[in-house]
Amino acid sequence: MLKALQKIALVISIIIAVYGLISRNYSLFPLIIVFQLVSLFVMALHDLKEGRKTKGVLSFILVITLSIIFIYTLMNYGTI
């Protein structure tokens, strides 16, 4: 179930990226980052569920760090 959710998030981000590049609508790019973060979060949950605690914890740290950077960047240089 978690792997399917991860693949769905990746496919959605790819579709949004292709649409944004074709239509030159760059305001959708924050959505790509959100779906990539969701995919990474689901991967971390899957790793913890499978017993790979080190990889899961490192993935959670990465998700938190990237989320903070993403929010900081949007608040200072873009719109939410």
Q: What DSSP letter does each residue of 4-39 carry, written as one string?
A: HHHHHHHHHHHHHHHHHHHHT-GGGHHHHHHHHHHH
Q: Is the pLDDT of residue 69 over 80?
A: yes
Letter string b/e over residues 54-65, b meaning 16 or more CB atoms within 10 A of that residue's CB: eebeebbeebee
What residues does each domain of the chain span? 2-77
Per-residue pLDDT of 18-66, as tens digits, reads 998 899 887 888 888 889 999 999 999 999 999 999 999 999 999 999 9
Tokens of 61: 């740290």
Q: Residue 60 and residue 43: Cα distance in Å, rounded?
A: 9
Q: Residue 60 and residue 54: Cα distance in Å, rounded?
A: 10
Length of the chain: 80
